[in-house]
Structure 1
Amino acid sequence: MAINDNVLIKIRERKDSLTPVERRVAEYILENKEEIPHLSIKNLAMGSRTSDASVLRFCKTMGYSGYRSFIVSISAAMGGKEEPDNGQYTDIQPGDDLQTIISNTARNNIRSIEDTLSLIDREAVDQAVQVLRTCSRIFLFGIGASGLICLDAEQKFTRINKNCHAYLDGHSQLTAATLVSDKDAAIFISNSGGTEEILDALDIVSKTGASTIAITKYGKSELSERADLLLSISTPEVTIRSGAMGSRIAMLTVVDMLFTGVASADYQEVKHYLTRSRNIISSKRRRR
C-alpha cells in the first residue's frame, strides 16, 4: 500500500464521532466509494439525503477547503487501490474454522498497521522522537491492554538507558503524575481516548509543563485534544477480541517507531547499551 493521506480511512475512523447529518454523508460515501469521484455536490447530497451545505460542511470537517479538493483525494485513494477487500476488517465469528481464524486475524493486524500508516502525523512522530531524546525521564500511562503497550515501551527504552517507567493502575498513575517535572515526557496510551484514569493523570501532568504525547485512535477524543502531540492509530470496526488485537498491534508499531527513531538518532551514544544488554541476555541462554 502506498503511504499517503487516505481520506477513505479517515472517514471510516471518524464516522462515529460526526454529527448525525455528517454521518449520513460518511456512510453513503463508504458504501458507494466507486461512484463518489463522479458525483456533483448536489448528487452526493441527494444520495445521502442531506443538502449541498451539509456536504460542504462534511468536507471541511474532514480538513478540506471545498468539495473539489475533497473529490480529488477520494479519486487518489481509489486510484491507489488502498482499500483491499473493500477496506473491511473481518470479525472472528463463533464456529469459524481454524484456517479462517488464522487468515482473518493476520489480515486484520496487517490492515491495522497499514491504515495507521495512512493516518499518523509524521511531523508529530518526529517531534515526539525529539522530545524523548532530550527529556530527563519518560512516564508511561496505560490501563488494561494499553498498559501492556506501556510495558513494551518501558522495556525498549530501558535498553538504551532511558529513565523510563510504566504506570498501569489509577492510583499509581496519580502518584506518578505528581512527580513529573517540566524536563520529563509523559506518554498516555488509550485506544478510546476517554479512559477516566488516564485523563485524570493527564490533567495533573499538563500543569507541570512536561511534554505530553497521546497514542490513541484516530478521531476526536478528550485525550487527542488535550495532549501536546497526537499519534493516531487505526482501530478495526469489529465486535469481539479481534478488534482489541488490531489496535494493540497498531500501538506497538507506533512504540517501535518512537524507539527506533530515538535509537537511530542517538546510535553512537546508545549502541554500547544495546550491545551490553544483548550480550548479557545471550550469556544466560542455555547452550545446546
Structure 2
Amino acid sequence: MSPLVKIRAERDQMSAIERRIADFILDNAHLLRDYSSQQVANALKISQSSVVKFSQKLGFKGYPDLKLSVGESVAHHRAIENQSNDDADAVRAVADPYAALADGLSRGKLEAQAETRAINAPAQLDAIAAAIAGAPKVFVTGLGEDGIQAQAFALKLSLLDIHTVHHCDPVFLSTSLATATHGDVMFVFSEHGRQNALAQLSRDLRERGGKVVSVTRHTANPLRAHADASLLVSAHDERPAVEPLLYCAALQHLLDVLFLALCERIGDGAARLGANVERMRHLIDP
C-alpha cells in the first residue's frame, strides 16, 4: 500500500502530534526527500524521536525508509498523472471540454476506493458476510442522503432472498425492532455517525441479541462505538463539491465487494439472484 494512502486512511485515528506530522508529509510529499527527520521536527517544533516513532508506527524501520517509500510513491503517481494528462490532451484534441474534469474525478475516485479497501480488512468483510448469511433478519437504515445508499443495499440483499427490513424513518424502524430476535443484524448508514436516534436504535437491537454493523467515515464516532462491526470509508478532497462524490464512489465499491462476497458465500446465491432479477424484469417490462 502506498505510504501516502496509508497516512490519509489512518490520519483520523492519530494523536494530535501524529496528525501534524501526517499533514506535513502529505503537504510536502514531493519535497520530503530533501528533509531529514531533524528538519521535519524543527519545522513542526517537536522532537526528532516523534518523527522516528511516527515512521515506525506506519510499519517502517525508521524515517529514511518512510522517506524513500514516499519518494517512490510520488514518482509513480507522477508517471500515472503524466500518462493521464497525455490521454486527456488527446481527448481534448477532439473538442471534449470536460475531459480534464472527468479524468481528475476518475483519479480521485480510484484513490478513495484504494484507501477504503486498505482500511477494511478481508477478515472483517468475511465476518460481516457470514453474519448476514446466517441472520434471521437484516435491518437496514440510514437518514437523509445516507438513506439512498441504505435503500440500494437493502434491495441487493432482498435479491438474494435475505429477509430484509428497510426503514429510513427511525420511528418506523423502532417499531420493527420489536420483532428482532437473537442473531439479527442491522446495517446503520451514517457518514459522520453522530445521529443520536441511530445510536439508540443500535443499543436497542444489541439488547435483543442482535449485531450492529455501522457504515461511516473512518473516524471515531458514537455510532461506530456502539457497533459490533464497522465498514469504514476514507475519501478526502478540499473541494466541497468533490468530496461527497468520492465518498459515495468509495462506499459503493465497498458495498459491491461485500455483495459479491455474499453471492459466493450463499451456495445458490447466483441462482437466487438470477431468478429474482428475471421476476423483476417481467414486472417492469412485461
TM band (smaller chain) = 0.7 to 0.9
Query: Which residue identity lines up with residue 198 of structure 1 in the other structure?
Result: L
Aligned length: 271
Aligned to 2:27: 31
How far does residue 151 in structure 1 lie from its aligned partner after superposition? 0.8
Q: Tell me the equivalent position of 1:196.
A: 196
Does the CA contact (< 8 Å) of 1:7 and 1:74 recur in 2?
no
The structure-2 alpha-carbon separation of the partners of 1:54 and 1:193, relative to structure 1 and needing over 3 Å to count, comes to farther
State the distance in 1 between where 2:41 and 2:206 align.
Answer: 42
Number of the residue aligned with 1:8: 4
Unaligned runs of 5+ in 2: 82-96
Amino acid in structure 1 at the alignment position of 2:18: E
Deviates more, 1:155-164 or 1:103-112: 103-112
Identity score, percent: 16
Alignment-mate amino acid for residue 118 of structure 1:
A
Q: Give per-residue Cα distances to partners, 1:80-131, cap 9 Å, x unaligned.
A: 559736999xxxxxxxx64444334333333322222222222111111111
- What residue is the counterpart of 2:279 in the other structure? 280
Q: Give the 5 Å matches for 1:88-127.
A: 98-127=98-127
Taking the TM superposition and a 5 Å limit, the aligned residue runs for 1:15-164 are 15=11, 18-34=14-30, 36=32, 41-55=37-51, 58=54, 63-64=57-58, 68=61, 72=65, 75-76=68-69, 78-80=71-73, 84=77, 98-164=98-164
In 1, are the aligned partners of 2:188 and 2:213 still within 8 Å (CA)? Answer: yes
Tell me: CA distance 1:285–1:24, structure 2 relative to 1, closer, same or farther (3 Å): closer
Q: CA RMSD in A?
A: 3.3
Aligned residues of 1:154 and 1:166 also touching (Cα < 8 A): yes
**AA at the equivalent of 1:192:** H
TM-score, normalization: structure 1? 0.78
1:110-168 Cα shifts (integer Å, max 9, x gaps): 33222222222221111111111111111112111211111111111101100012221
Change over 3 Å in CA distance of 1:123–1:214 after alignment to 2: same
In the aligned structure 2, how far is the partner of 1:118 from the partner of 1:74? 20
Give the TM-score normalised by structure 2: 0.79
User: What one-letter code is carried by the residue in structure 1 that aligns with 2:280?
Assistant: I
- List alignment gaps of at least 5 residues for structure 1: 89-96
Amino acid at match of 2:272: Y
Contact map agreement 2:12 2:218 (CA 8 A) in 1: no
Distance 1:103 1:41, change over 3 A: closer
Partner of 1:182: 182
- Cα separation, partners in 2 of 1:154 and 1:74, compared to 1, 3 Å: farther
Q: Is the 8 A contact 1:136 1:184 kept in 2?
A: yes
Find the structure with the greater CA-based Rg: 2
**In structure 1, C-alpha distance between the alignment counterparts of 2:44 and 2:74, rounded to whole Å:** 24
Deviation per CA, 1:11-36: give whole Å up to 9, x if none.
32454665543332121111222454
